[in-house]
Chains A and B, each alone.
Chain A
Amino acid sequence: MAKTARALKKSRPEEGDRISSLPDGVFSDIISLLPTEEGVRTQVLSSRWRHLWRSAPLNLDLHHYCRFAKHLLEASDILRILSTHPGPGRRCSIPTSDSALWLPLLKQLSLLNVTISESSLRSLLDGCPVLESLLLAENTCPCIQIMSGTLKSICSLVLEGPCYKS
């Protein structure tokens, strides 16, 4: 830089709730970096923040809850989180071994750019009894056989590597 202006003496802007004047997109970035439970807690910060967690990319990692928490997290809590988030999701890590995720009304599921094990995918699909449309794209998943009486369409956009059979 040829010329660096001397930083003007910083005039102290009024302190206080200055962060609330920032645009929503900024908060989405911030909230999606927080652990799940801390993201949830930002909803009570102010009326401005109430909807932000729900619209921010979802960072859902609930593994330690099911084992250690006093308030046992129930499947209905997870469903509420998923159903109140229009998306997108940054991360979704849910223990499914003890209590499988049950999505009785879900008809359409898209997994884009997701790393998922065969057993998790199978368990997820088992919990979707009326699933009609499944989109799998750019996922890291081993070969899997999908059995379903309701699926009408499976779209798999994988160029190489994993394969899907229906």
Chain B
Amino acid sequence: MAAPESGDGNNGAARMVTLISSDNTRFEVEAAAASLSQTLQLTILDGGGGGGDGIPLPNVDSATLSKVLEYCIKHAPAAANGGAPNATAVDRAELERFDNEFVNIDQSVLYSLIMAAHNLEIEGLQSLVAKKVADMIKGKSPMEIRRTLGFPDPTPEEQAEMNAHMLEYGWAYE
């Protein structure tokens, strides 16, 4: 059921669509995988992206799109089964393993992915990257979070505001 290269339910050969990244690289991918993007779904349903045409994605570069499509291809079979309610524990564990490894990337790639998932409205990917950033923040003090996320050091005014907030919400700084 969750075989990696299974078709999309269209009798026989799966329908393919072409996506064009901001730097003009063409990616040919199964329509079922690209349709995980809410943004692309309607265009694809209307028959767009096939043949010589492609769907241009001016906000997504090729490196990011390649990564996004890796996610979509992996998750498409389960999505086609309505979130795979009948998936075996093994299938689910495999997707979980894939997801964990998928977001084990450096921050600049992660931010590009977040942006792309947001623009393309890929729900599962949006949740996955949000969870990754939440995990990066969890258990850290505000100063540690600032460093983790690459914020510049606080100005004296910001430091004063931080101190005032810590007094106001003392219970949250135990």
User: In the complex, how many angstroms separate the beta carbon of B65 from the nearest chain A beta carbon?
Assistant: 8
Partner of B174, one of A21, A42, A70: A70
A2 contacts B by Cβ under 8 Å: yes
B166 touches A33 (CB 8 A): no
Contact mask for chain A residues 29-40; partner B; CB cutoff 8 A; 1 contact, 0 none: 111011111101
Most chain B beta carbons < 10 A, residue from A8, A18, A41 = A41
Which residue of chain A has its CB nearest to the CB of B126?
A29
Partner of A25, one of B118, B142, B170: B118
B150 touches A8 (CB 8 A): no
**B interface vs A, CB < 8 Å?**
16, 21, 23, 25-30, 33, 61-63, 66-67, 69, 73, 107-109, 111-112, 114-115, 118, 126-127, 130-131, 133-134, 137-139, 141-142, 145-146, 149-152, 158, 161-162, 165-166, 169-174
Q: Which residues of A contact B130 (CB under 8 A)?
A: 26, 29-30, 33
B127 touches A12 (CB 8 A): no
Partner of A2, one of B16, B61, B115, B166: B16
User: In the complex, how many angstroms separate the beta carbon of B156 from the nearest chain A beta carbon?
Assistant: 14
Residue pairs across A and B with CB atoms within 8 Å: the count is: 128
Residues of A within 8 Å of B, CB-based: how many?
45
User: In the complex, how many angstroms separate the beta carbon of B47 from the nearest chain A beta carbon?
Assistant: 19
Q: Which residues of B contact A41 (CB under 8 A)?
A: 141-142, 145, 169, 172-173
5 A-B contacts, Cβ less than 8 Å apart? A8-B62, A18-B150, A19-B149, A34-B138, A46-B146
Which residue of chain B has its CB nearest to the CB of A4?
B66
**A interface vs B, CB < 8 Å?**
1-5, 7-8, 10, 12-13, 15-23, 25-26, 29-31, 33-38, 40-47, 65, 69-73, 77
Q: Which residues of A contact B67 (CB under 8 A)?
A: 7
A15 touches B161 (CB 8 A): no
> Known contacts A7-B63, A19-B111; is A65 also within 8 Å of B16 by CB?
no
CA distance A12 to B109 in the complex (A): 9
